[in-house]
Amino acid sequence: MMTKTISIIFGTRPEAIKLAPVILALKKARGIRCRVCVTAQHRHMLDQVLDIFGIVPDVDLNLMKKNQTLAGFTARAITAVDGYLADENPDLVMVQGDTTTVFAASLAAFYHQIPVAHVEAGLRTGNLQSPWPEELNRVLTTRMAALHFAPTASNRKNLIKEDIPSKNIVVTGNTVIDALFLALAKVKKNPPLIPGLPSFLLQKSSIINHQSSIPLVLITGHRRENFGGGFDNICRAIAELARQFPAVHFVYPVHLNPRVREPVMRILSPGATGTLLPNVHLIEPLDYLSFVALMNRATLILTDSGGVQEEAPSLGKPVIVMRDTTERPEAVKAGTVKVVGADTQNIVRAAAALLTRPALYKKMSTAYNPYGDGHATERIVSACRTFLTPL
């Protein structure tokens, strides 16, 4: 059997999480030489995930710069990946999701006439401004890809509508579930300590059994479309919920982006609103294992993230999405996710309902997770092997 080379190119923490199980599997696959190239679009957060899963990049382009613009990073990424592909000359390039790295790597591969395999293909909102710029990145990547790994049947339908041949689409489930199960096993074996969080909120028994008498709401936020007034509204909603529910603890790992941190600290830091909120805990961003531990411990989650909408239902956690649109409508249809936008009253109303109505909470927390069974990696490896060694 002739060995085929697959180059996996990524640069952010979410990409690393979702590609980690695929990389680990391809490294063990017979007849496949798996090479890992990182752009380091998110340097620190990327390295944390690589360390957790024991992945050492073969090539580190190290492109991150302070205050980088999207256009500047895109230009540097295309040039750097172009040089890497000229040296490596792989048989297949694999990318994941909808980041700037995904678009740049796909374009560079297209210019080299190297086929692209797109993990998490077919997600759509139909609005190029939301999420921005991710919707454009994934639409353009679809046009360049030769092999499309769609997490769900709905994603496959989106691709078919865009005239992608059905023979080039494989419905796999989402690899984030595979990664979540790997991480959860590590967390249960060795529960992490989380700086800035009172120990009574994260006892070992509550992590392992995801049960506690102390309700905990986990919050994440980073989307560009919420910069400005959106984040002000989100923070005001958290403050109002903390006042209404003094026995509930609200834990917010605050993203490093200054445009996120400014409204959070202005509105939610101790004394900022004129009223001390002792049940609001603002902590630094978490590594992946610590975040999985907090998700498993949480009662419910408020987020504008995409990946959390896929992960949390596997842990039985209702998700309130603080965005106007979602490219993951399957979760809304299944009942595990509710989209409320970055509107203060809507966020407060939705969270309060889950905290006060046990029947509603049970309905959302026990709903079917549409994003897979934890075996997406196996389907992706099998499809890559078939694509590279056709009959």
255 is catalytic: yes
Quick check: 292 and 183 in contact, CB under 8 A?
Answer: yes
How many other C-beta atoms lie within 10 A of the C-beta of residue 87?
A: 7
Based on the residue annotation, tell me whether 311 is a catalytic residue of this protein.
no
Marked catalytic residue, from 255, 281, 297, 323: 255
State whether residue 170 is helix, strand or coil.
Answer: strand
To the query of whether residue 134 is one of the catalytic residues in this protein, the response is yes
Q: Is 200 exposed, middle or buried, given 0-12, 13-18 or 19+ CB atoms closer than 10 A?
A: exposed
Distance CA 255, CA 243 (A): 23
Task: Compute CA 135 distance to the chain's CA centroid, rounded to the nearest angstrom.
Answer: 14
Residue of 98, 178, 232, 304 marked catalytic: 98
Residue from 33, 43, 222, 385 carrying the catalytic annotation: 222
Q: Which of 124, 156, 224, 281 is catalytic?
A: 224
First to last CA, the chain: 13
Task: Decide if 98 is catalytic.
Answer: yes
Can you list the positions of beta strands (E) in the chain?
Answer: 4-10, 32-38, 59-60, 92-96, 116-119, 147-150, 169-171, 216-219, 249-253, 280-283, 300-303, 319-321, 337-339
Query: SS3 of 3, please?
Result: coil
- Supply the DSSP string of 321-332, one letter for each residue: E-SS--S-HHHH
Q: For residue 356, what are its two tokens?
A: 């006060």
What is the rounded distance in angstroms from the CA atom of residue 37 to the CA atom of residue 114?
A: 15
Q: Which amino acid is at 144?
A: M
- The catalytically annotated residue of 15, 88, 134, 287 is 134
C-alpha to C-alpha distance for 267 and 313, rounded to whole angstroms: 30
Selecting among 15, 120, 304, 324, the annotated active-site residue is 120
Residue 17 CB partners (closer than 8 Å, separation 6+): 49, 176, 179, 288, 307
Mode of pairing for the β-strands spanning 216-219 and 300-303:
parallel
DSSP 103-141: HHHHHHHHHTT--EEEET-----S-TTSSTTHHHHHHHH
Q: Nearest CA to 283 among 365, 273, 293?
A: 293
Active site residues: 98, 120, 134, 222, 224, 255
